[in-house]
Amino acid sequence: MRSRGAVSVVALACAAVLGGPEPWAHAGLASWTTALPEAPAARAERRGVVILAVPVSPRVRIPGGRFLMGSSPVEMKLAQISCQTEILRDRCSEIAFLFRAEGQLHEVHLTPYDLDRSEVTVADFGRCVAAGRCARPGFEASDARFARPRLPVTHVSWEAASTYCAFAGGRLPTEAEWEFAARGPEGRRYPWGRVWNPHLANHGAFAPDPTDATDGFVGLAEVGSFPDGATPQGVLDLAGNAGEWVSDFYDIDGNGHGYSGAEETNPKGPATGGRHVVRGGSFREGPAFLRGAARGTTLLHQSPEVGFRCAYDVGAPPAPAPRLTRAK
C-alpha cells in the first residue's frame, strides 16, 4: 500500500509505468474473442438443457433526478472511524483531509444519461487500439495481471480514457453522474446499500500490505465478478476493483472542501486544474474509500489501479418496462 500522506485515494505505490509490446499485437483480437468464457446458454445446450437467453445491455439508463452529493460532517466522521478500524488505524487522523474533500453536502439535479454497466475491459480498449484511435496502455503484454481480455483496462491516462469514450460514442461521466449512479436518490453509502459487505466488492486490506484475497482476488478481477454488489439499476463494480477516471478536475477550497455547498444542475466541476478526480476506490482500498461519496485523485499519469467507464448523452427517457405482478 502506498503512503496516504499524498493527496491520492488511489494507489501511488507504483513508481514507474510498465511499457512493452501491445498484447493484442501478440495474441490478436480474434484469439482474445475466442478465449472469452463460454456463455451459460452454450454450456447448457451441450448438456441438452434449453435456456431462454435475455440479452443484457452493456449500458444502463440512469433516469436522472436530484440527490444530495457529498458528505455531511457526521458522515465524514463516520468514514474516518471506519478507516481507523482498518489496518491503517492511527494514521487515519493524518489523512482526515481526504474525508473533508467530500464536503459540502449539496443538492444536485441531473438529466438522464446512460452509463456503461461495467468498467471498460482490456478487450474493449484493444478494439480502439486496433482501429488506430487509441494508444496502447502502459502495461507489458506478458503481464498477466493486466493483459487478460475481461479485466478492466488500467494503465490508461485520463486523456486516453477520454479518447476511448469518444471512440465509443460517449464521454467520461462527470463526478456528479458517477456519484448519483453509485448512491441513487436515497444516498446509499455503497452501491448495494448502507452496510459494508466484504463479499460484494473487490477490496483491499489497506496498508501496509494492501493485497487481500478474502474476496477471492489478490489483484484486479474480471468485470462483473461481484454481481450481488451491483446498484439497483444493475451497474457493476462501482466499489473497488479499478478506480475510475471521471471528467472533473480535482480541487478543494481553503477549508478543504471539494464543493461550495450551492445547489447545482448538471455540474461539470472546476474549469481548470492539475489533476482529475478518481472515483470508486480500487482492489487495494478498504471500505472507507469504497463509499459512493469518497473522492480521490492520483499523481500518476497512468496507474495500474485506475481504469474507467463511459457515459452517454440521451434524449427523452425510454418507455418504462411493464411491471410484473405476482398472481394472487
User: What is the spatial distance between Cα 308 and Cα 161, in angstroms, rounded to a whole number?
Assistant: 7
User: What is the spatial distance between Cα 127 and Cα 134, in angstroms, rounded to a whole number?
Assistant: 9
Q: Between 92 and 293, whose confidence is greater?
A: 293
Question: What's the pLDDT at 27?
Answer: 32
Question: What's the pLDDT at 118?
Answer: 97
Q: What is the mean pLDDT of residues 15-40?
A: 32
Residue 18 pLDDT level (bands cut at 50, 70, 90): very low
**DSSP state string for 110-141:** E--EEEESSPPBHHHHHHHHHTTSSPPPSS-T
Residue 211 pLDDT level (bands cut at 50, 70, 90): low
Which three cell numbers, joined as nine digits, stand for 231?
Answer: 446498484
**What domains are defined for the chain?**
59-313 (3.90.1580.10)
Which residues contact residue 59 at a Cβ distance below 8 angstroms, ignoring those fewer than 6 apart? 114, 115, 116, 117, 312
Q: What is the mean pLDDT of residues 175-181?
A: 99
Q: What is the mean pLDDT of residues 252-267?
A: 95
Share the mean pLDDT of the chain: 79
pLDDT tens for 99-117 read 999 999 999 999 999 999 9
Contact 283, 221 (CB under 8 A): yes
User: pLDDT > 90: what percent of the chain?
Assistant: 59
Q: Which pTM does this prediction carry? A: 0.78
Question: What's the pLDDT at 88?
Answer: 59
Which three cell numbers, joined as nine digits, stand for 152?
Answer: 478492466
Question: What's the pLDDT at 286?
Answer: 87
